[in-house]
Amino acid sequence: MKTLKEFDKMLFSDPDVKAAYERLKPEYDLIGQLIRKRLNKGMTQSDVAKKMKTKQASVSRLESGDFNISLKRYAQYAEAVGSQLQIRLV
C-alpha cells in the first residue's frame, strides 16, 4: 500500500494531472479559506445560511466546490463570516 505522499508523487508526475490541479487550485484555495474563516468564527453551515438568507444545503454545495458559484454568492458568504471577498490578478 502506498502512502499519500507516494501517491501524490506518482499522480503529479503526469503533466495532465498537474495542469488540471493548477487550473483548479485557486478555486479550492478560496473554498478552503471560506471554510477556515467559518470554523474560526465558530459558525456552522446553518449559521452562515441564516446570515445569507439561504438554506444550509446551499452553503454545503458552495463549500463542496462541485457547483459553479457566482462571485456574488462568494461575497455573500464572506460577509456572513465577517470578511470581505477580494479578487486579484497576479
User: Whole-angstrom Cα distance, residue 74 to residue 19?
Assistant: 25
Contacts of 7 by beta carbon, 8 Å cutoff, 6+ apart: none
- Residue-wise pLDDT tens digits, 25-63: 988 899 999 999 999 999 999 999 999 999 999 999 999
Domains of the chain: residue spans and CATH: 26-80 (1.10.260.40)
Q: What is the pLDDT of residue 90?
A: 80
Burial of 62 (0-12, 13-18, 19+ CB in 10 A): buried
Look over the chain and give the mean of its residue pLDDT values, rounded to a whole number: 93
Residue 65 has pLDDT above 90, yes or no: no
Whole-number percent of the chain with pLDDT over 90? 77
Residue 14 has pLDDT above 90, yes or no: yes
Residue 1 has pLDDT above 90, yes or no: no
Angular region, 82: left φ>0, alpha ψ -120 to 50, beta rest = left
